[in-house]
Amino acid sequence: MNLTRRSLIFGGLAAPVLARKERPPERPNVLLILADGLPFWMLGVNGNKEVRTPNIDQLSQSGVRFQNHFVCTPASSPSCATLFTGRVPRQHGIQDFLTGEPIENPPQGQAAPPASFKNETMLSDLLAAAGYECGYAGKWHMGDNQQPQHGFRFWYTNALSGPTAYDNPSMNWNGQVVQEKGYLTELATAKAGEFLDKQTPGKPFFLTLGYLNPHAPYEGHPARYYQMYSQTNFETTGWEHPASNALRGKEYLTSTVENLRKVAASVTALDDQIPALLAKLNARGLQERTLIIVSSASGSLFGRHGLWGGGLASNPINMYDEVLATPMIWRWLGRIPAQSVRPEVVSSYDFMPTLCELLELSPPPGRNLCGRSYLPMALNKPLPKKWRWRKLIFGHYRNTEMTRDTRFKLVLRNEGAGPNEFYDLADDPGEKVNQYENQKYLLEQRDLVRSLEAWRKTTSV
């Protein structure tokens, strides 16, 4: 059989799931803990020495963590849509028709996403049809959060009216707006506890906790978290003075250290929710039956590269690793060996195929999913013979596209018209020197351009 470069890149994407020699006695419960804008580099287990995340660190030490997990889009709304559907922004239509803005807090009358997203099949749709009890607590990210949808029957999300607030937030409880008193992060955890109290060992559940932390606003967290960082100067965080192309969030760069203290407070407040969730699972006898996954809708720069926020922190849109690289931690007691670390490059669009294989569900037909299951790595099992994992991943946001492997990274804008970027990550892991015009990398650039063009064509239908 003749193999073309295209077949080598994409041949594994739609491959059938791997046959397993052992079938678990029952499908696990799934608890997905999803932060908003928590970058990979901000966790202690990933080398951060100043932000305190002991509980997430311990959770990762009792399971597997991916060292190279990337979202497809450096913005939370379209990124969440990819995580839950396996489809990329140009396919799922989560961006507003006129402006291309992610639907974070849409104005009155523009709350509903395009019909194309309403018609998408989400992971929760598949699980609900397979007999799972599905619940969602926290920030929904994907518009039209007035009513439970996509198989979720337990529904506690941020209300549409007014700006998002951590203190005394307005929430949507199963279709009714309620004015809460308390701290948003703890309220979401408490509501998740109510959901878990209703679960029994005989019926599996899928619970998503969509925390707003550490997304703005940076006020409204309990005082004790701010006090933890009142003297921290973040000398090892890598923040820089404001860049000339800084756009959104540049007001935070006028006092970067002070605002980093607030972000760190938000991250530690999120970390402090883990013990309560584990205690609730343990009290219900559900810990060993529950797969816990920790990730983030997107990353954030928080002063790195002289920018603050995600892809829209700069003009033009940036695709730095800080906004794309996010935690991906799996913990399943008795099933995933402790202290496991995987170096493979994986993407958020691989999440849907991976969970489908684990739970023995068929991915939704006719959706042109570009991802592939990484289940053997998630379970930290030896890879089957002749089974090869791909080396390339891709990203897309508006007019900007990205592809990278373990060494090189290419960013194309306006379908190659520019401005473009190319980095040798082995010599320049911080992406400081744009080598796009360097003839030394001509062959490597050409190969990545061809790969990106093929991916663009494949995902355009």
d(CA 249, CA 305): 13
Tell me the pLDDT band of 292, cut-offs 50, 70 and 90: very high
User: For residues 451 and 9, is the Cβ–Cβ distance under 8 A?
Assistant: yes
The pLDDT of residue 94: 61
Separation between Cα atoms, residue 185 and residue 201, nearest integer Å:
27
Query: Residues 332-391: pLDDT tens digits?
Result: 999 999 999 999 999 999 999 999 999 999 999 989 999 999 999 999 998 888 889 999
CA dist 373 and 353 (Å) reads 5
Best CA proximity match to 166, nearest among 136, 190, 187, 196: 187
Residue 5 has pLDDT above 50, yes or no: no
Whether pLDDT at 257 is above 50: yes
Amino acid 95: pLDDT:
53
Query: How confident is the model at residue 387, as a pLDDT?
Result: 86
Architecture of domain 27-398: 3-Layer(aba) Sandwich (3.40)
Is the per-residue pLDDT at 4 higher than 60?
A: no
Residue 19 has pLDDT above 60, yes or no: no
Q: Could you tell me whether strands 340-347 and 170-173 are parallel, antiparallel, or unpaired per DSSP bridges?
A: unpaired
Q: Tell me which residue has tokens 């995340």.
A: 53
pLDDT tens readout for residues 28-58:
999 999 999 999 999 999 999 999 999 999 9
- 376-385, Cβ contacts within 8 angstroms, sequence gap of 24 or more: 376/18, 377/64, 377/66, 377/342, 377/344, 377/346, 378/64, 378/330, 378/336, 378/342, 378/354, 379/64, 379/330, 379/335, 379/336, 380/64, 380/336, 380/337, 380/340, 380/342, 384/18
Mean pLDDT of the chain: 89
Whole-angstrom Cα distance, residue 97 to residue 338?
45
Question: Which among 261, 267, 255, 208 is positioned nearest to 54, based on CA atoms?
Answer: 267
pLDDT (mean) for 304-328? 98
d(CA 449, CA 292): 37
For strands 340-347 and 64-70, give the pairing: parallel
Percent of the chain surpassing pLDDT 70: 89
The secondary element (H helix, E strand) that includes residue 323 is helix 321-324
d(CA 157, CA 146): 8
* 324 Cβ contact partners less than 8 Å away, ≥ 6 residues apart: 70, 71, 74, 298, 299, 395, 402
pLDDT score recorded for residue 103:
38
φ, ψ of residue 458 to 5 degrees: the values are -65, -40
pLDDT for the residue 34: 98
Mean pLDDT calculated for residue range 240-246: 97
224 vs 219: CA distance, rounded Å: 13
Q: Return the domain boundaries, the chain.
A: 27-398
Nearest of 304, 386, 268, 267 to residue 15 by alpha carbon: 386
Average pLDDT over every residue of 253-277: 98
Is the pLDDT confidence value at 102 over 70? Answer: no
